[in-house]
């Protein structure tokens, strides 16, 4: 898609400017392609910024990160890229920082936890584009049939899963540790066990005592007791687990807003609670964010900033979040959705966002660390396996990647 805008370009070179924007497609088909959203933003921008043209290219998620990397390597970086990671480009000096582009009002409006997740060496380069949080989902019908209440602790999860299994539920607790997105499932469990991927100073500590204890518990109390269903966690991808939940075959799993909407469409009565921990609900959820950034190459700093200031208006932020069952990234848009009954189904996710914990996005080594987690973590709960040895292997590979930066 190409949208042409005209507007006041600011102080770049005194003439008309064309901004090139590459974005990811969040749609599931022709009916909800992200082209429609960007066309609306482009036309709105056109009304107040004559002299600026914007060429928008929307690509599938399977291609967009690779295509942008190729463009940058070829010396043809876009002015703006909406993709999954920013740290490599920031460390290479290819991006404008947030304060070089945005108005004070726009920059200050990001949710603090998301602004922090966009920093490299204390400087924000990644602008959060959209976010999501995770909650524990349970099938209310299956729980009612088994005489169960919503789980609050790990012990509740284990007891409920045993009861669900006794009532013939196919997946009492679906534990997707296959390669599709097991870095997310892993982090959710690590957080509920008081750990995480990094320590207080940002160094990897994947094999911490807390993390080892968490996976020992998972293996001993869920996997070894046959409470995770017919597919071994290391062979169960998120998509298959989610599909089983929408069919009413899963008692519990960790989920996000899109799954909630899809399950409800299929007639599943979904219960949602904060992730249980050892002695009660966790104080922080796992958060996920995608990013948008401005490249320096074409020297369109002022025009890029004007576009971002327009794009991050409440209307645009809420429109995108609403279309794709995601969460807004700004304080004002979040406050608006939290008080709107239309978004009642998202309120629990919105409430979890300010205290969410994110992947270590600011590390250029994170991509390699994430791959190691996806490749290896399923082995930690296999019969006869040692969770400690698997976590130590992942930790070693992650630390090696960090040292190679």
Q: pLDDT tens-digit profile of 212-264?
A: 999 999 999 999 999 999 999 999 999 999 999 999 999 999 999 989 989 99
Nearest residue to 350 (alpha-carbon basis) of 78, 49, 135, 96 = 135
Does 7 score more than 60 pLDDT?
Answer: no
Alpha carbon distance 155, 346 (integer Å) = 27
Nearest residue to 5 (alpha-carbon basis) of 46, 48, 66, 36 = 46
User: Of 3.30.310.50, 1.10.150.170, 3.40.190.10, 3.40.50.970, which CATH number belongs to 17-132+288-355?
Assistant: 3.40.190.10
Query: What is the number of alpha carbons within 13 Å of residue 136 lying toward its C-beta?
Result: 26
250-276: string of b/e by CB count within 10 Å (b at 16+)? bbbbbbbbebbebbeeeebebbbbbbb
pLDDT grade, residue 10 (50/70/90)? Answer: very low
pLDDT of 6 reads 31
DSSP 51: T
Beta bridge partners, 18, equal: 53
Nearest residue to 329 (alpha-carbon basis) of 119, 134, 184, 112 = 112
pLDDT of 28 reads 79
Beta bridge partners, 277, equal: 153
Alpha carbon distance 131, 151 (integer Å) = 25
Nearest residue to 387 (alpha-carbon basis) of 125, 208, 139 = 208
Three-state secondary-structure class, residue 295: strand
The alpha carbon of 285 is separated from its chain's Cα centroid by a whole number of angstroms, namely: 12
Nearest residue to 329 (alpha-carbon basis) of 287, 298, 359, 363 = 287
pLDDT grade, residue 399 (50/70/90)? Answer: very high
Question: SS3 for 303-324, per residue?
Answer: HHHHHHHHHCCHHHHHHHHHHH
pLDDT of 280 reads 94
Tokens of 206: 């994947």
Alpha carbon distance 90, 207 (integer Å) = 28
pLDDT of 343 reads 94
Three-state secondary-structure class, residue 133: strand
Mean pLDDT of the chain: 93
271: alpha, beta or left, given left = phi > 0 and alpha = psi -120 to 50? beta
Global pTM? 0.87
Strand order in the sheet with 80-83: 52-60, 17-25, 80-83, 287-294, 127-133
Q: How do residues 321-376 score in pLDDT, each as one tens digit? A: 999 999 999 999 999 999 999 999 999 999 999 999 999 999 999 989 999 999 99
Q: Give domain 135-284+365-403's CATH superfamily.
A: Periplasmic binding protein-like II (3.40.190.10)
Q: How do residues 263-289 score in pLDDT, each as one tens digit? A: 999 999 999 999 999 999 998 889 999
Helix axis angle, 209-218 relative to 182-192, nearest 10°?
Answer: 110
Question: Average pLDDT for residues 59-87, to the nearest whole number?
Answer: 95
Residue pair 250/171 in contact by the 8 Å Cβ criterion = yes
pLDDT of 12 reads 63
pLDDT of 15 reads 67
Kindly list the distances between the CA atom of residue 349 and the CA atoms of 10, 132, 343, in Å, as whole numbers in the listed order: 39, 7, 10
Residue pair 60/40 in contact by the 8 Å Cβ criterion = no
Alpha carbon distance 231, 260 (integer Å) = 23
Strand order in the sheet with 171-173: 171-173, 250-255, 135-139, 270-273
Does 14 score more than 80 pLDDT?
Answer: no
Percent of residues, the chain, with pLDDT higher than 90: 86
Domain(s) of CATH 3.40.190.10: residues in the chain = 17-132+288-355, 135-284+365-403
């Amino acid at each position: 898609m190409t949208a042409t805008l005209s507007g006041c370009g600011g102080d770049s070179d005194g003439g008309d400017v064309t901004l090139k924007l590459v974005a990811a497609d969040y749609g599931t088909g022709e009916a909800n392609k992200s082209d429609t959203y960007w066309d609306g933003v482009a036309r709105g921008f056109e009304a107040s910024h004559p002299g600026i043209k914007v060429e928008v290219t929307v690509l599938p998620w399977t291609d967009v990160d690779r295509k942008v990397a190729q463009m940058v390597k070829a010396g043809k970086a876009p002015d703006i890229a909406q993709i999954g990671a920013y740290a490599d480009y920031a460390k290479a000096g290819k991006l404008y920082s947030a304060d070089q582009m945005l108005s004070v009002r726009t920059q200050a409006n990001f949710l603090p936890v998301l602004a922090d997740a966009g920093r490299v060496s204390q400087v924000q380069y990644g602008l959060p584009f959209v976010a999501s949080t995770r909650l524990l989902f349970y099938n209310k019908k299956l729980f009612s049939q088994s005489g169960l209440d919503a789980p609050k602790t790990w012990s509740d999860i284990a007891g409920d899963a045993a009861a669900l299994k006794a009532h013939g539920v196919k997946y009492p607790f679906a534990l997707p540790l296959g390669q599709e997105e097991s870095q997310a499932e892993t982090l959710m469990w690590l957080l509920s066990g008081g750990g995480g991927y990094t320590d207080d100073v940002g160094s990897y500590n994947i094999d911490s005592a807390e993390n080892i204890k968490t996976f020992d518990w998972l293996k001993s109390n869920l996997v070894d007791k046959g409470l995770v269903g017919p597919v071994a966690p290391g062979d169960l991808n998120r998509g298959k687990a989610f599909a089983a939940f929408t069919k009413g075959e899963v008692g519990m799993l960790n989920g996000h807003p899109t799954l909630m909407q899809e399950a409800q469409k299929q007639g599943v009565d979904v219960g949602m609670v904060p992730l249980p921990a050892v002695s009660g609900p966790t104080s922080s959820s796992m958060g996920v964010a995608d990013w948008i950034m401005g490249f320096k190459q074409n020297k369109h700093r002022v025009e890029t900033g004007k576009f971002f200031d327009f794009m991050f208006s409440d209307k645009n932020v809420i429109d995108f979040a609403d279309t794709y069952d995601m969460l807004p990234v700004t304080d004002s848009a979040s406050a608006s959705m939290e008080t709107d009954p239309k978004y009642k189904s998202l309120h629990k996710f919105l409430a979890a966002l300010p205290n969410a914990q994110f992947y270590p996005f600011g590390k250029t080594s994170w991509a390699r660390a994430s791959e190691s987690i996806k490749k290896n973590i399923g082995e930690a709960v296999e019969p006869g396996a040692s969770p400690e040895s698997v976590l130590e292997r992942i930790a070693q590979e992650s630390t090696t990647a960090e040292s190679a930066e």
